[in-house]
Amino acid sequence: MPGVTKIILLACGSFNPITNMHLRLFEVARDALHATGRYSVTEGIISPVHDDYGKKGLLSSYHRNSMAKLATETSDWIRVDTWESEIQTKWSPTVTVLRHHQNQIECKRRRLDSNIRSEEEVAQIKLLCGADLLESFSVPDLWKEEDKEEIVSKFGIVCITRSGSDAAKFVYESDLLSTHSSKIELINEWIYNEISATKIRRALARGQSVKYLIPDAIIKYIKANGLYGSSVPVMNK
């Protein structure tokens, strides 16, 4: 459609484990982007971080990817991509992951070129994140300046505002982000909740229920593999 930009949303993170909140980010983003009439979201990609990221308590990418794949089984547009966590031999900066996926799209298009009308535009990868990830841009020495610049100016960011954060103020106060504010979509999640992977891990370690917070298939996987300090309940043995 003329004037409508095709978008692929890429979410990077630990996904340790993936929660309903992570999946919800994609749905909220797609609805809001479509409502603008300017974008068509064609795909969502979840890219769990490499084990070398070294965050405390980070489970192996094997398990994190398996759970994310189970969680996306019922989606017809969100998928898990393991290039970052399994093909790479070390942690990759987020800009490298974005570049990889943009290249993939462009290579695929070249392969299909004869079947595609030349004026048809190629889909653009955008970083999908929560406000906490955007706000981590201000943590000293965490992100390289040139990476932040490339992420926001070349790819663009779709940020879902998490309760208690003030993403608009954060963009205003950052020279880099406000210069490129046309490349940043801030989307309000009105039906917000406080599900976080940290709280899920904590509940599991305490033997508390996480039903309705993460998909049932993942609860089953976690229990079956004894992850996060959970154990198989006696009656289910």
Contacts of 181 (CB under 8 A, 6+ apart): 171
Q: Which of 152, 171, 157 is nearest to 9 (CA)?
A: 157
Please check whether residue 12 is in contact with residue 127, taking contact to mean a CB–CB distance below 8 angstroms.
yes
> Does residue 156 bind ligand ATP (CB under 6 A)?
no
> Does residue 126 bind ligand ATP (CB under 6 A)?
no
**CA pair distance 130, 12, nearest whole angstrom:** 10
> Does residue 143 bind ligand NCN (CB under 6 A)?
yes
Smallest separation (angstroms) from ligand NCN to the CB of 146: 10
Among 43, 50, 92, 130, binds ligand ATP (CB under 6 A): 130
Nearer of residues 128 and 204 to ligand NCN, judged by Cβ: 128
Q: Which of 9, 18, 21 is nearest to 49 (CA)?
A: 18
> Does residue 102 bind ligand ATP (CB under 6 A)?
no
Question: Other CB atoms closer than 10 Å to residue 165's CB: what's the count?
Answer: 16
Q: What's the DSSP call for residue 162?
A: P
Nearer of residues 39 and 101 to ligand NCN, judged by Cβ: 101
Contacts of 37 (CB under 8 A, 6+ apart): 4
Among 8, 9, 12, 152, binds ligand NCN (CB under 6 A): 12
Smallest separation (angstroms) from ligand NCN to the CB of 109: 26
SS3 label, residue 190: coil
Among 7, 9, 10, 13, binds ligand NCN (CB under 6 A): 13
Applying CB under 6 A, which residues contact ligand ATP?
Answer: 11, 13-16, 21-22, 25, 129-130, 132-133, 160, 162, 195-198
Applying CB under 6 A, which residues contact ligand NCN?
Answer: 12-14, 49, 53, 55, 93-95, 133, 142-144, 147
